[in-house]
Amino acid sequence: MIFAIALVILVIGSVLFHFLSPWYLTPLASNWSTIDDTLDITFLVTGFVFVVVNLFMAYCVYKFRYKKGARAHYEPENKKLEIWLTVITSIGVAAMLTPGLYVWADFVNPPEDASIVEAVGKQWQWSYRYPGEDGKLGSVDTRHTTTKNPFGMNPEDPNGQDDVLVLGDMHIPINQPVKMLLRSQDVLHDFAVAEFRVKMDLVPGHVTSLWFTPTVEGKYDVLCEELCGVGHYNMRSSVVVDTKADYDIWLSSQRTYAQIVSGDNAGASMEGVSASEQGRMLAISRGCVACHTTNGTPGIGPTWKGLFGKTETLVDGSNIVVDEAYFIESIVSPNAKVVEGYSPIMPPSSFTDAEMKALIAYVKDDLK
Amino acid sequence: MSNVAHDAHDYVPPVEIPEMELYHPKTWLGKYVFCQDAKVIAIQYSVVAIGIGLVALVMSLLIRVQLGWPGTFDFIDPAGYIQLVTMHGMIMVVYLLTALFLGGFGNYLIPLMVGARDMVFPFVNMLSFWIYFIAVLVLLASLFVPGGPSGAGWTLYPPQAILPGTPGSGTGIILMLVSLSLFIVGFTMGGLNYVVTVLQARTRGMTLMRMPLTVWGIFMATVLALLAFPALLVACIMMLLDATIGTSFFMPAIVSMGQQLDYEGGSPILFQHLFWFFGHPEVYIVALPAFGIVSDLLSVHARKNIFGYRMMVWALVIIAALSFVVWAHHMYVSGMNPYFGFFFATTTLIIAVPTAIKVYNWVLTLWRGNIRLNVPMLFAIGFIFTFVNGGLTGLFLGNVTIDLPLSDTMFVVAHFHMVMAVSPILVVFGAIYHWYPKITGRMLDDTLGKFHFWTTFLGTYAIYYPMHYLGFLGVPRRYYSIEGTSFIPESAADLNVAISIAAIFVGAVQLVFLYNLFVSYFRGKEAGPNPWEATTLEWQTADTPPKHGNFGEKLPLVYRWAYDFSVPGAEKDFIPQNVPPSVGAKTVDDEDYDQHS
């Protein structure tokens, strides 16, 4: 009796939880309402089975509970019933699978007018590449990748010269289908935006892809959703969905590969932004904060809070006072002097002198 | 078909081969340590598996502590967190569940239930356990090496598993791979034993279609494991070579931490195919024994034959076969050719049909039964409820489209814990309460058992049911912290606290179970040979617990299937398999089938 009641309560409770709890899909911001529809159909079918099977079981547990002297019914099998159940189950399965396959066919065939954006993942940061005016991405090779050439651009390829390279947030125009090409330089990553519904792994040695059409303006979190090492949970970025006009303005302010190589800074307008503020933005966009916290709690690397002037013990037992020279050395060749208790896992990075100054200003002034 | 399935009920085939010589140990060491008796090996396997499982249980509680109260406990850092996640998963799936179901229950139940004196290769069987034991020690050793155990996730995906950004990418991962390889070697020795024993050493009259479903489940799972584990073994060896001598099986050209590495041309996705070609059948290696055992628990305690026995056997066989063509549903968003999605979504949803049939037949076994809610029965019914939930959410993830938003989120974590952690564990508990009286001669305490059931059953549901909804929100799995995300509401943190409290509670009540196991061994009620009034051969032994050789002087002869409960006209409501038709009532045969079809 108690068991039957418990089962009924569990069934009712589960259904109520589904309808009353505040936790469900995040509001959709892309064209993939069909994914949500497929999900709804599956919920309908499976929910029905869940309720019917479990309530039937509760009924049996109550109705056929042990009675002294009673005998169970002797019925080894019932072919007719078993065939019926098989047929009905198959129909239910087909009802869920068919729409699923139709939507998947959409997903594997991106529209021809989709614009191209490449996302590049490395431990533990995101960067983005746009094809520029010629509409073509230049060729790349992992073997070209250095701290000065983080995208691994082929310097000989004319198609690559006008590619726009972005180390900060990704921007896309609203209502324009976009096909993301995904590329990793080191390990598996996964490009996921909850509001867009779609996700795909980045696989070193391959280029993978996904597509969607953003339908709601706003700024959304990009998360890495394939375990990629100790900094995995901090490998984040943002995607900003702009109006077409805002997007064009943003794009024109970004630097192309050719401009970066020639040291031309014309595209980047940082006027009126304080050095420490520029440093803060750099720290976010270049992924520093994935490992270095700014609030004093220990992270994967030492915290930046109160960093300058601090005396650190190194792995070889010696002491060092953190000054500008040590700070810069630790960015350019991070494994030279590792602080005790941390692993030598920081990738070396390249910053321009101005960027380095901004970064120092940020840590020195804002994170005293 | 029916004449293949059910021989004339009084037919017992003649002796074809003489009984084999039993090995008799001469020393204490041979009797209790390097023992060749399958029953002792079963206990050894079970004790080690449960011991290491407790370690993994504590690890899971530490994971929940971090997720419930992020930043509160300094001793769990990001590296330690993913190491806990990795070790917890690997231990639970391979070193606990696989070892316990096959090495533990398989060894104890197969010879007894098919009417054999022992496994056919007792020495190899003994070796199997000791190699498993060494594998466990190697795995545990990785906890104490510099850099700690691997933190690559239990899936051990390269390249990260062997690159410096992952904890334990030096010695830790190598010990993990060596330990897995040892496990597979040890398992193969045991597995060959189980299969050959089932096929060759059944007593006279025990046709395949008279075998209890427990044996069918363990048998099919072993066949799966023998075919699936080699894929993992080669993957382990290839990754070992990549890590140690610099081959590039799974390693493309890589810039790691600013360093150009020497690897070139390998494929990380190749590893995933090998891993999941093992990994998906692995789900059924754990599930099929549970399916089999729960069928017998339901039948015995409902005093009714299992409904649709032949369908149940064929469903096991079909599920086992299909489980080899669904593996890439773990890889829909892995970057493999997306067109594979059509094929694997279809096969995956097809496998739901035989699985659903099994669920219907379990529930229909209860229909018009005479249900005794003994503790094993509580766990069996709890299993059905949990498994229905976990199985249905599999239809979300298996349907390739819905996997796009849900894969790699907490929905996946909730789903697989429901379907292949909680469900099989409920069966393990049910099975222990059911067979403990045979193994020790004493009953487990009923009150403690009921307390254990209710807290575990309701507690685990409270952990995993709400967790699906974190997944709907988009909360990713394997995240040390979700702080700083804009789309996850604050209230998700409250839900995480609630889940963690439930988890700690469920973890703690397992102590009651251990206490019960321990105390009942000395003070439990005398069980007698057949306390549940069951029909299968292990309950008909001359001694309880059964002695070396299992059945005393003469092996039992089998005259009927394992499910003669409440046969009309019979004196009692059960007729053991070794009761001849002249004594008990007539059993199920073609006539009975024809009546109903």
Distances (CA, A) of B235 to A202, B97, B150, B156: 21, 21, 16, 10
CB-based contact, B426 to chain A, within 8 Å:
no
> B305: distance to nearest CA of chain A, Å?
6
The full DSSP string for B278-336 is: HHHHHHHHHHHHHHHHHHHHHHHHHTSPPTTHHHHHHHHHHHHHHTTS-GGGG-TTTTS
Q: Do A187 and B159 touch (CB under 8 A)?
A: yes
CA nearest B306 in A: which residue?
A76
Average pLDDT over residues A154-179: 93
Give the list of residues 6+ apart from residue B33 with CB closer than 8 angstroms, or none.
none
CB B165 within 8 A of CB A228: yes
Confidence category of residue B2, pLDDT binned at 50, 70, 90: very low
The residues in A 118-177 lying below 8 A from B, measured between CB atoms, are 122-124, 141-143, 145, 147, 152
Has residue B586 got a pLDDT over 80? no
The residues in B 50-89 lying below 8 A from A, measured between CB atoms, are 71, 74, 77-79, 82
Q: Which of A59, A97, A234, A292 to mutate to test the interface with B (most CBs of B within 10 A)?
A: A97
Give the pLDDT confidence score for residue A337 in this predicted structure.
85
Across A4-8, A146-150, B249-253, B531-535, least confident range: A146-150
Percentage of chain B beyond pLDDT 70 is 95
Average pLDDT over residues A74-82: 89
Q: Which of B404, B453, B574 to mutate to test the interface with A (most CBs of A within 10 A)?
A: B404
Give A-chain residues touching B328 at CB under 8 angstroms: none
Has residue B188 got a pLDDT over 70? yes
CB B306 within 8 A of CB B213: yes
Residues B506, B453: Cα–Cα separation, whole Å: 10
The residues in B 339-378 lying below 8 A from A, measured between CB atoms, are 339, 341-342, 345-346, 349-350, 352-353, 356-357, 359-361, 363-364, 366-373, 378
Has residue A354 got a pLDDT over 70? yes
CA nearest B595 in A: which residue?
A78
Nearest to A42 among B338, B395, B476 (CB): B395
Give A-chain residues touching B368 at CB under 8 angstroms: 64, 72-73, 75
Nearest to B532 by CA among B573, B492, B502: B573
CA dihedral B204, B205, B208, B213 (to 10 degrees): -100
Nearest to A42 among B363, B396, B487 (CB): B396
The residues in B 295-324 lying below 8 A from A, measured between CB atoms, are 302-305, 307-311
The helix/strand/coil state of B107 is: helix
Copy the structure tokens of residue B366: 């209860």
Nearest to B342 among A101, A145, A225 (CB): A101
Q: Do A38 and B405 touch (CB under 8 A)?
A: no
Give A-chain residues touching B267 at CB under 8 angstroms: 205-206
Give A-chain residues touching B248 at CB under 8 angstroms: none
Q: Which of A2, A3, A28, A332 to mutate to test the interface with B (most CBs of B within 10 A)?
A: A3
Give the list of residues 6+ apart from residue B26 with CB closer than 8 angstroms, or none.
none
Tens digits of residue pLDDT in B458-503 = 999 999 999 999 999 999 999 999 988 999 999 999 999 999 999 9
Q: Do B596 and A75 touch (CB under 8 A)?
A: yes
Q: Report strand pairing: A208-212 vs A178-184.
A: antiparallel
φ/ψ region of A310 (left if φ > 0, alpha if ψ in -120 to 50, else beta) reads beta
> Dihedral of CA A351/A354/A358/A364: which sign?
positive
Confidence category of residue B585, pLDDT binned at 50, 70, 90: low
Tens digits of residue pLDDT in B529-570 = 999 999 999 999 989 899 998 988 889 999 999 999 999 888
Confidence category of residue A75, pLDDT binned at 50, 70, 90: confident
CB A133 within 8 A of CB A162: yes
Copy the structure tokens of residue A255: 């630097």
Phi and psi torsions of A240, nearest 5°: -110, 125
CB-based contact, B392 to chain A, within 8 Å:
yes
Give the pLDDT confidence score for residue B596 in this predicted structure.
42
Has residue B591 got a pLDDT over 90? no
Measure CA of the first residue to CA of the last residue in chain A; give whole Å. Answer: 66
Tens digits of residue pLDDT in B422-456 = 999 999 999 999 999 999 999 999 999 999 999 99
Give the pLDDT confidence score for residue B588 in this predicted structure.
60
Counting one residue from A and one from B, how many pairs have CB atoms under 8 Å apart? Answer: 364
The pTM is what?
Answer: 0.92
Displacement of CA B407 from its chain's centroid (Å): 23
Where would I find the H helices in B144-267? 171-200, 213-244
Give the list of residues 6+ apart from residue A295 with CB closer than 8 angstroms, or none.
A303, A305
Copy the structure tokens of residue B184: 């597979």
Give B-chain residues touching A195 at CB under 8 angstroms: 487
Residues B315, B318: Cα–Cα separation, whole Å: 5
Amino acid at A351: F
CB B206 within 8 A of CB B270: no
Give the pLDDT confidence score for residue B590 in this predicted structure.
42
Q: Do B487 and A221 touch (CB under 8 A)?
A: yes
Nearest to B568 among A26, A56, A74 (CB): A74
Give the pLDDT confidence score for residue B569 in this predicted structure.
85
Tens digits of residue pLDDT in A101-130 = 999 999 999 999 999 999 999 888 899 999
Give A-chain residues touching B304 at CB under 8 angstroms: 72-74
The residues in B 459-498 lying below 8 A from A, measured between CB atoms, are 461, 465-466, 469-470, 472-474, 476-482, 484-487, 489, 491-492, 495
> B556: distance to nearest CA of chain A, Å?
24
Tens digits of residue pLDDT in A232-285 = 998 999 999 999 999 999 999 998 999 888 876 544 455 667 888 888 877 876
Tens digits of residue pLDDT in B82-126 = 999 999 999 999 999 999 999 999 999 999 999 999 999 999 999
Residue A252 vs residue B71, higher pLDDT? A252
Residue B415 vs residue A146, higher pLDDT? B415
Copy the structure tokens of residue B428: 């393990």
CB B290 within 8 A of CB B424: yes
Average pLDDT over residues B408-425: 96
Nearest to B352 among A50, A54, A93 (CB): A93
The residues in B 27-46 lying below 8 A from A, measured between CB atoms, are none
CB-based contact, B429 to chain A, within 8 Å:
no
